[in-house]
Amino acid sequence: MATDNLKIQLRNVSKAFANKGSITAAVEDVSLDVRPGEFISIVGPSGCGKSTAFNIIAGLIRPDVGDVLIDGRSVAGRQGQVGYMLQKDLLLPWRTVLQNVTLGAELLNRSRAATQREARDLMATFGLQGFENAWPSRLSGGMRQRAALMRTVLSHQDVMLLDEPFGALDAMTKSLMQEWLLEIWTRFNRTIVFITHDIDEAIFLSDRVYVMTTRPGRLKASIDVNLPRPRSSHEITTTPEFGAIKHQLLTALRDEIMKAYGSPKLQG
C-alpha cells in the first residue's frame, strides 16, 4: 500500500504496562494503514490490546516504540485528532442527552449554540427525538449507545474510533444499528475503525478486517472484504462470498483463541 494519502498509519507500535512489578506487553510491533473513507474492523481475543491500540491512536497513551500518524503527521501523545467512542459508553449521568451529545464538540471549543442546533436537527436521525432533555438513566441500552455515537459524530473529526459500540445489544437491535451505522458513515463521509468480537458484524460493515494475535497483540492477518455496497440488508450474510471470508477469519482467530484458552476438553 502506498504510504501517501493514508488517513491513519500505525508504524511498528509497541506498548507495555507495568503492573505491581510485572510487565504486560499489550501491543507488539503493530503496523497498519487506513485509507480515507475506509471502514476497517479489528478483531482479536479479549485482552490482546485492541483498546490499547485505540488509546494510542487517540493520543491518550503514548507508544513505547513506533509512531502513529494521521494525515501523514505524527499524533503520538496528542489528543483531539479523532472522534472516539470508548468501550464503555460513558454518558455523564448529571448531563441531559443534549448536553451529553454536545460534550465532545464543547471540549474542542466549538460554538455551543451551533452544536446544539446541529444536535437538535440530528436527534431524529439517531432515534433520540423527544429525549433531548432526558437524563441518561431514562434511556435504553440501544439509546445510550446511539447517544454516545452521536457525540462522536458531532465532534466533527474525520476519523471515528468505535470500540465495541454494539457489544451490549440484542441481535435484532444490533442488526438495525449496523445498517444505520453504514448510513451514517456514508452520509458523513468519515473514516471508521471499529473493534468487535462479532465476526459477522466485522464482515458486514468493513472494507477490511485486521485480526490480532493473543497478547501481546500483533497483527496476524489482514482480510479484504470485497462485497458489494451498499450493504443495506443482512441477506448478504448468507451468500457464499460472505461464507468464504468468514471461514478465513474464523480460521485465523480460532488459532489465537486456542492459544489463549487451550483447546476445549470434554469431561467424562
Q: Check binding of 196 to Mg ion (CB under 5 A).
A: no
The residue among 200, 211, 207, 212 whose CA lies nearest residue 185 is 207
CA pair distance 236, 242, nearest whole angstrom: 7
Binding-site string for Mg ion from residue 82 to residue 111, where x marks contact by CB under 5 A and - marks none: -----x------------------------
Q: Which of ligand ATP, Mg ion, none interacts with 116 (beta carbon under 5 to 8 A by kind)?
A: none
Residues in region 199-228 near ligand ATP by CB under 6 A: 215
C-alpha cell at 257: 483463541
| Strand 219-224 with 208-212, pairing | antiparallel
In the complex with ligand ATP, the residue whose CB is nearer, 47 or 141, is: 47
Contact yes or no for 223/245 (Cβ under 8 A): yes
CA pair distance 253, 247, nearest whole angstrom: 10
In the complex with ligand ATP, the residue whose CB is nearer, 15 or 231, is: 15
Could you tell me the smallest distance in angstroms from the CB atom of residue 78 to Mg ion?
22
Could you tell me the smallest distance in angstroms from the CB atom of residue 255 to ligand ATP?
17
Could you tell me the smallest distance in angstroms from the CB atom of residue 219 to Mg ion?
16
Q: Check binding of 115 to Mg ion (CB under 5 A).
A: no
Residues in region 87-126 near ligand ATP by CB under 6 A: 87
Q: Which of ligand ATP, Mg ion, none interacts with 213 (beta carbon under 5 to 8 A by kind)?
A: none
Binding-site string for ligand ATP from residue 8 to residue 47, where x marks contact by CB under 6 A and - marks none: ---------x-x----x-x-----------------x-xx
Q: Check binding of 263 to ligand ATP (CB under 6 A).
A: no
- Residue 57 backbone phi and psi in degrees, to 5: -65, -35
Q: Check binding of 51 to Mg ion (CB under 5 A).
A: yes
Select the span of 46-54, 76-84, 134-142, 234-242 touching Mg ion (CB under 5 A). Answer: 46-54
DSSP string, 167-219: TTS-HHHHHHHHHHHHHHHHHHT-EEEEE-S-HHHHHHH-SEEEEEPSSSB-E
C-alpha cell at 29: 510491533
Q: Check binding of 157 to Mg ion (CB under 5 A).
A: no
In the complex with Mg ion, the residue whose CB is nearer, 51 or 152, is: 51
Secondary structure of residue 22 in the 3-state scheme: strand
What order do you get walking across the sheet with 208-212 strand by strand? 83-85, 159-163, 191-195, 39-43, 208-212, 219-224
Could you tell me the smallest distance in angstroms from the CB atom of residue 93 to ligand ATP?
23
DSSP string, 80-92: SSSEEE-SS----
Chain positions contacting ligand ATP, by CB under 6 A: 17, 19, 24, 26, 44, 46-52, 87, 215
